[in-house]
Structure 1
Amino acid sequence: MLALRKWLLSGLLVIVPLVITLGVLNWIIGTLDQTLWLLPEDWQQWLNVHKVRGLGVLLTLAILLVVGATASNFIGKRLLGWGDAVVRRIPVVRSIYSSVKQVSDTLFSENGNAFRTAVLVQWPRDGVWTIAFVTGAPGGEVLSELGGGDYLSVYVPTTPNPTGGYFVMLRRSDCIELRMSVDDALKYIVSMGVVVPGGPATIANR
């Protein structure tokens, strides 16, 4: 019975991550396949008849590459600047667009520091530690109300779903910078501490 139980658990450890991974990939490909409406109607009908999957991914990548190449040259930058100015003149839309663009520029900029560093912080109270990610530094009125000083803006993710979390501002001296990569830190958070960066660890040997 012990051997059967061990085999069952080992099988689950192999199958469960594989099934979840395939499920997520299937959802992503299915979602991106919805972009096929951009193709001519005859093409859409042919693809639906032959049940071709994954072309949405290729189409999305192609669109991103074309837009990126266009935005990288002089004419493209002028066109994007003109379009940006038009959108910013539309009430309500400009507020949403400006906020989203500022966040995306910060996250995806090669020179940005957002989500580049993992830190160890005491949260939600002293003596309780968790991993957070540096997103920037407060400034303006917020920093003034904090009385000045060296503060960091950090995102404290929840587990096992790191897309939800808390935005807090802490003194830099209260944040311990970690040498582990952001990917390793995310694995640590998602696994609820099971996948330990740098090697396995147990309560007994600590």
Structure 2
Amino acid sequence: MFKKFRNAFLTGLLIFLPLGTTIFVLNFLLDMFEAPAMRFAFEMGLKEESFFFGLQTLLAVVGLLVGVLALTSLGFLSNYVLGKFFINSAERILDRVPFVSTVYRTVKQIVDTFGKENRAVFNQVVMVEYPRQGCYTIGFLTNDAEGETEAVIGRQLTTVFVPTTPNPTSGFLLFVPREEVFAMDMSLGEGMKLLISGGAVIPEYDAKKVKKKAQSSSKRSSTKSLPKASPKKTAINPPRSRTRKT
């Protein structure tokens, strides 16, 4: 029961996130009119009623409970045809409103790109040397390169998607040799937090495990980088010119 409630709440949160961000931006703009509205209310004789623990505390608790129930209900409704119809209708309406549609589309692209539907696209968090030697970046391993892309280079390649920050919906697709891809222990969610925050949110890790993996990868790369012994070639002496005795 708790698992169903949790999944429904998370689903509702993902659905509400684009709309919630849009409301947050609009609320920021409407805050400029809050002071004139309060003055108008006091002039009309409307007074704030006092409670034992304060009106603001009561409204905060009630608002939190209503928000949790609303998101959970939205998650349950998204599993039914009628709920999907209302959600799609609301999205179409928001998509036609100027400025609101821009904010809504941006946030929705982020949610759709890294939601549970497309989470299987990214296999693992990796680090690659990009865009120059000695500089590394975080990316997501997507697949093993096959076909013409691998045949032209003549090496085993892997495809790595390197998102931009803080908007990870765009990025670069890199074809990197397998031995130049460094696997990370962090989860996909932790990798996304690291990217979107611009490096401000650093996930926790097991230092001993990472150090052991780094040592093994360095040994493997050093072994592969050793030059192969070339077979000795015997020098071929040029033929001596014979002079005729006269």
TM-score normalised to structure 2 length: 0.41
The one of the two structures with greater contact order (alpha-carbon pairs below 8 A, sep at least 6) is 2
Larger-Rg structure: 2
